[in-house]
Amino acid sequence: MGKKRRGRDRLMTCCSCGRAVPRNKAVDYERRSSFTTDFRDQENVTAFSTTTEYYCISCAKHRKIFEKKKKQAERARERKQGGF
């Protein structure tokens, strides 16, 4: 049997306020960003990257991330029920 951490979750720091939040309570948000070299050149290079940021519940509500994820989950449930 492997080691399992039963009593405590890892602490994540909020990106906004710096509060230490357990991982199961933290709201994770994937931020997508794109970088380009030059818009007018024909050899235009575009790079996409994603970073995962963790927010405490109060900051996620203030930035309206928490409600957005809740609505997305509701839509996904509706799609699963509607499409047979």
Residue 13 phi, psi (nearest 5): -100, 140
Q: Is residue 2 part of a domain?
A: no
70 or 16, higher pLDDT: 16
Residue 22 phi, psi (nearest 5): -60, 150
Do residues 33 and 49 lie in contact, with contact meaning Cβ atoms separated by under 8 Å? yes
Q: Is residue 4 part of a domain?
A: no
Q: Which domain holds residue 51?
A: 9-37+44-67
| 23-77: pLDDT as tens digits | 988 999 998 998 887 766 677 788 899 999 999 999 998 998 877 777 888 888 8
Q: How many domains does the chain have?
A: 1
Computed from CA positions of residues 30, 61, 63, 60, in that sequence, does the dihedral angle turn out positive or negative?
A: negative
Length of the chain measured in residues: 84
Q: Regarding beta strands 20-22 and 46-55, do their DSSP bridges make them parallel or antiparallel, or are they unpaired?
A: unpaired
Q: Is residue 79 part of a domain?
A: no
Q: Is residue 50 part of a domain?
A: yes
Q: Is residue 51 part of a domain?
A: yes
Q: Is residue 82 part of a domain?
A: no
Q: Is residue 72 part of a domain?
A: no
